[in-house]
Chain A
Amino acid sequence: SAVISQKPSRDICQRGTSLTIQCQVDSQVTMMFWYRQQPGQSLTLIATANQGSEATYESGFVIDKFPISRPNLTFSTLTVSNMSPEDSSIYLCSARDGKNEQFFGPGTRLTVL
Chain B
Amino acid sequence: DQQVKQNSPSLSVQEGRISILNCDYTNSMFDYFLWYKKYPAEGPTFLISISSIKDKNEDGRFTVFLNKSAKHLSLHIVPSQPGDSAVYFCAARSGTYKYIFGTGTRLKVLA
Contacts and interface: CB of A to CB of B under 8 A. Distances in A.
B97 A104 contact: no
A75 to B, nearest CB: 17
B41 interface: yes
Given A42-B104, A48-B97, A100-B93, A106 B43 contact: yes
Most B CB within 10 A of own CB, among A1, A100, A105: A100
A44 to B, nearest CB: 8
- Contact residues of A: prevailing secondary structure: strand
Interface of B: 2, 4, 32, 34, 36, 41-46, 49, 89, 91, 93, 97-104
Interface of A: 1, 4, 31, 40-45, 48, 92, 94, 96, 100-107, 109
Given A45-B98, A101-B34, 13 more contacts: A1-B46, A40-B103, A42-B89, A42-B103, A44-B101, A45-B99, A48-B98, A92-B43, A102-B34, A103-B45, A104-B36, A107-B41, A109-B41
